[in-house]
Structure 1
Amino acid sequence: MRNPRLAAVALIGTALAAACGPGRTATPAPPPSPAVSQSPAPDRTASGDPAPGRTASGSPAPSGAATGAVAASTAWAATGGTGLPGSSALLDVAATGPRDAWAVGYKDSAEDREGAPAVLRWDGSRWREVPLPGDDVYHLEGVSAAGPDDVWVVGNGESAFAAHWDGRRWAPEKPFGVVEDYRLADVATTGGTAWFAGSGPSKAVVLEWDGREFGNALSTGGAFDAITAREGHVWAVGSSERHTPLIWHGTADGAWESSPAPEIPGGRLNRVWQISPSEVWAVGEVTAGPGDRAGQPLVLRWDGSSWSRVEVPVRLGALHGITASGPGDLWISGIDADHAGQVLFLRFDGAKWSREYGPLFRVHEEDQQYEETDDVNHTGIARVPGTTALWAVGSVGVGDDEDDFVLRH
């Protein structure tokens, strides 16, 4: 196994790389000219001192060795170290304000071990790991925060796991008991009530927490991977039994109905965001078929009466995260298969799309163990309420050679 490196690479041909042991973060080099080069990224973990700012699918097939780097946006800056050891990833992020954000994922996970859950909290100056009770959960998949004292995380181990933070301590829960064939993928909390998306044997499941106990809100065919709740509306998305996009809509009175999505073979939705009851967005991917180099990014939009597919300026790749402050400020994170070593960010201003890229984390080495070790593997994104700032998290590399990162916009 090679020693992982997160490197900043100037597109004019100068490569700056630093090699470190587990748990260390290299200091980024001074940023070069943004016109010709990309922002520096630290070694090991890229994540503490900002400017203002899943179950997730794997990275697209092509590796960084076969894809070209592009100029990185200087608006996206790597923050200091998270302190997580190697073989770590961050899968989701949520923020309640400039001085409170949460990121979840896993650490110490490799080919020969399941690993352990990772919870990080931003206090306005640095990321700190928050211990989580329980020794039978391996990976955390989702986080939702209604306030500094109302945070839910979900994950999986021997059985599905959830925990609530009340500002002082965690209250761990087993929503399905000790049954081993259920999993939780995402959570959405709206203050007092929380909704959980997951799956069981051949079915998609939504659970509701009413402040006292869990209840089964919905069971249907397929698998749910994401959920959002706002203004009395709940949206759950994933993949149907026919391997097409799956969308269900619920209301505060407990009524649920299928919300038919376009029939897109191989389509899977990874995240969903409601801007208003008449504007909802869902993102994911169309999985690659036999002989395809990579899958296709998938974006669906609800206009209050129907869902339609929206074309984006990326040909191949996958989309993992979505957030918005309003109809004219929608952000999506994911991977462009043609530039798989950098995080892809898509922005919709209400009229048109723009795209930008995070820093290049690694430089290809001839003797590296995996071709995919240069590629971004997971991404997640969250807005910071009351500001224009954004957090992005994820990982680069695979197996023993995977490292987490945090970016701020």
Structure 2
Amino acid sequence: MLWKPVTIIGPWLWSAAVGVAVVGLWIWLTAPWDDGNDRWKLVAGQSSVTYGQVIATGEHEAWAFGWDILGIAAWIPVADGPHRPTAFHWDGNRWTRSDFPVKLGDVGSVAASGPSNVWVTAGGSVLRWDGRVWAVVQAPPGASGGLAVTADNDVRIFGDHKMWHYNGTTWSERSLSFHAFRVSARSASDVWALDGAGPWVRHFDGEVWTRVDLTPALPKAPPPSDDFPPHPGGPQLTAITADPSGVWITGEIGASSFLLFQAGSGWRSEDTSAKAGRMVRGLPPVPDGRGGHWFVGSTDINGYDSALAHRDPAGRWSRVPSGGELTSLTAVPGGPLLATGLIGRASGVFRNLP
């Protein structure tokens, strides 16, 4: 019979261990994490937008959207229940709550062309902020998909194989041969959409939709391993941004993230896992106004420990850990980056510190 040594902790070691634990708890409780850290400063402590969306609409304008959990689910973490959509407005100085005309439901898509033309799908309704109040827009039933907004008289809402267009006065309906699940537009005659059925992007020139097959540019699946078996569906496209510098698409294959972009007359893919980390939230690239883009990357294989990643116009990458979890990102023109998320014990809207 083999005997294994047994370690006995003496009273003084036990007291020391307890002391260390108490000190650690005290440091956590008293740490300055209730307002962010040295990289992200909490500017709106609103827990309802922690997993919501933030969007800049001007140099001194931004909105953050989320939802409050109602009923018994608000007290039981594992329970689900009705939600109340919430909205908070930033005027360049402070954040204030702005109530929606709908009282139940989650916030879906968000888009804007300026401070007085902000559109949101929430609670099964399509809402518009005209610079003064939120109002329910009488859009056709089922218009709860992606939003593309380029002007007051050019708003597109996508549903299941359908698109509704608002010209500032009336709505028109159009059938689509595909399901658009992510959209981005540069003008009324330059709209891009990811096709939910395959590795294709669709382009609208103001008259017709054209399918662009991205298969030749897509990355190949990495060899399977014990930790990551082969992905049965192949590459998955997750988000799209169309801006003056081009069209930028993020995606995932297995446990790897990638970026697709236009290169000359074709498309090119770039593995971003080592440069930005996994980008698992499906957030669109955020233009920096100088031809580069910001991304919410990560520092861990699962993509939960967020990092702020940047790609400049020359293709050079940088990545800085956020110290928490970022759930959405936007850039104020000529100003700071804003993000929703959770850092330490703080949650809500954060401003990036230089």
Q: What TM-score comes out, normalization by structure 2 length?
A: 0.73
Give the equivalent residue in structure 2 for 1:320. Answer: 283
Name stretches of at least 5 consecutive residues in structure 2 with no aligned partner. Answer: 1-23, 74-78, 219-232
SS at match of 1:17: helix
* Alignment match of 2:61 (pick from 87, 100, 105): 100
Give the equivalent residue in structure 2 for 1:308. Answer: 268
How many Å separate the matches in 2 of 1:314 and 1:225?
Answer: 22
Deviation by residue 1:38-73 (Cα, 9 ceiling, x = unmatched) = xxx426xx6xxxxxxxxxxxxxxxxxxxxxxxxx8x
Give the equivalent residue in structure 2 for 1:221. Answer: 178
Quote the offset at 1:175 in angstroms. Answer: 2.9
Quote the offset at 1:248 in angstroms. Answer: 1.0
Q: Would you say 1:250 and 2:198 are equivalent positions?
A: no
Higher helix content, 1 or 2: 2
Q: Verify the 8 A CA contact 1:195 1:229 in the aligned structure 2.
A: no
**Compared CA separation, residues 359 and 166, structure 1 to 2 (3 A):** same
Quote the offset at 1:125 in angstroms. Answer: 1.8
Q: Where do 1:92-241 residues align within 5 Å?
A: 92-108=53-69, 111-136=79-104, 138-155=105-122, 157=123, 159=124, 161-173=125-137, 175-177=139-141, 183-197=144-158, 199-200=159-160, 203=161, 205-217=162-174, 219-230=176-187, 232-240=189-197
AA aligned opposite 2:115:
P
Q: Verify the 8 A CA contact 1:249 1:256 in the aligned structure 2.
A: yes
AA aligned opposite 2:236:
R
Q: Verify the 8 A CA contact 2:42 2:346 in the aligned structure 1.
A: no
Q: What TM-score comes out, normalization by structure 1 length?
A: 0.64
Quote the offset at 1:384 in angstroms. Answer: 1.4
**Compared CA separation, residues 314 and 106, structure 1 to 2 (3 A):** same
SS at match of 2:67: strand
Question: How large is the RMSD of aligned CA atoms in angstroms?
Answer: 3.4
Name stretches of at least 5 consecutive residues in structure 1 with no aligned partner. Answer: 1-12, 20-27, 30-40, 47-71, 289-294, 362-375
Quote the offset at 1:304 in angstroms. Answer: 5.6
SS at match of 2:103: coil
Quote the offset at 1:311 in angstroms. Answer: 2.0
Runs of 4+ in 1 over 6 A off after TM superposition: none
Q: Verify the 8 A CA contact 2:337 2:352 in the aligned structure 1.
A: yes
Q: Which has the higher Rg, Structure 1 or Structure 2? A: 2
Quote the offset at 1:269 in angstroms. Answer: 3.2
Aligned identity (percent) is 22
Deviation by residue 1:223-282 (Cα, 9 ceiling, x = unmatched) = 413333337411112532xxx43411112x332211222275443333322223x72111
Give the equivalent residue in structure 1 for 2:212. Answer: 259
Q: Verify the 8 A CA contact 1:393 1:405 in the aligned structure 2.
A: yes
AA aligned opposite 1:170:
W
**Compared CA separation, residues 407 and 117, structure 1 to 2 (3 A):** same
Q: Where do 1:344-359 residues align within 5 Å?
A: 344-359=307-322
Q: Verify the 8 A CA contact 2:286 2:295 in the aligned structure 1.
A: yes
Q: Where do 1:21-100 residues align within 5 Å?
A: 29=32, 41-42=33-34, 74=38, 76-85=39-48, 88-100=49-61
Q: Would you say 1:406 and 2:350 are equivalent positions?
A: yes
Give the equivalent residue in structure 2 for 1:17. Answer: 28
- In the alignment of these two chains, the number of paired residues is 305
Q: Verify the 8 A CA contact 1:154 1:187 in the aligned structure 2.
A: no
SS at match of 2:145: strand
Q: Verify the 8 A CA contact 2:199 2:215 in the aligned structure 1.
A: yes
